[in-house]
Chain A
Amino acid sequence: EVQLLESGGGLVQSGGSLRLACVASGFTFSRSAMNWVRQAPGKGLEWVSGISGSGTTTFYSDSVKGRFTISRDNAKNTLYLQMDSLRAEDTAIYYCAQDRAVVTPVWFDSWGQGTLVTVSS
């Protein structure tokens, strides 16, 4: 059974930083691209970033490009999202999502329970 467990969310001031982590189990981590998808309170889904299984290729939405950095440690089965220069509009639940593909993100087979990030202005 695939399990994805996010951590690292919390309350941070505008301009601050946070680092999210997602520990994966139940599948061969290095053979799956991985993603971060967020959902602002009461709003829809927004894809944030993706990374290939090897970690060599990364993808970002325009809204976070230059501020967020996605990475992974395949030896630890862990996905990360370093979030810098945070803004109030980054407030959301951040989900870790397993991709069907190995390199370029496509669709999301499994999702974690999410971690809440709140940015105060």
Chain B
Amino acid sequence: VVLTQSPGTLSLSPGERATLSCRASRSVTTYLAWYQQTPGQVPRLLIYGASSRATGIPDRFSGGGSGTDFTLTIDRLEPGDFAVYYCQTYHSSPITFGQGTRLEFK
């Protein structure tokens, strides 16, 4: 399954809402996860099952969608949210990641 993320780069300001998209080449039902990677850090799990937040993830982060179209929404952006975000599907082997969306300061 090929995952295509858009936009490639998203420029926003703290306090704004970010909406990131992930589109699958065929249906993955809700077998989709999202990760955040800040510069120099390892990836961190945000969302699994398309919409379930991982332990310790604030409710400003929400995931939605099913089938082929998914979104990650981040409300009230904080400085630590500016990072690269990846979607990942585990619907079938091999596991695949999207190419990433970079969220940067406007």
Interface residues, chain A, CB within 8 Å of chain B? Answer: 35, 37, 44-47, 50, 59-62, 95, 100, 104-109, 111-114
Interface-central residue, A59, A61, A104, A107, by most chain B CB under 10 Å? A107
Per a CB cutoff under 8 Å, which of A44, A105, A109 touches B95?
Answer: A105
Number of interchain pairs (Cβ within 8 Å)? 58
In the assembled complex, which residues on chain A have CB atoms less than 8 Å from the CB atom of B93?
A: 59, 104-105
| Chain B nearest Cβ from A98, distance in angstroms | 10
Count residues of B near A (Cβ-Cβ below 8 Å).
22
With A50-B95, A60-B94, A106-B90: A111-B48 Cβ-Cβ less than 8 Å: no
Q: Does B83 contact A (CB under 8 A)?
A: no
A107 near B100 with CB under 8 A, answer: no
- Chain B residues, Cβ within 8 Å of A45: 35, 37, 43, 86, 88, 97, 100
Given contacts A47-B96, A108-B45, A111-B44, 18 further A-B contacts (CB under 8 A): A44-B97, A44-B98, A44-B100, A45-B100, A46-B97, A50-B95, A59-B93, A59-B94, A60-B94, A95-B43, A100-B48, A105-B95, A106-B31, A107-B48, A107-B88, A108-B43, A111-B43, A114-B42
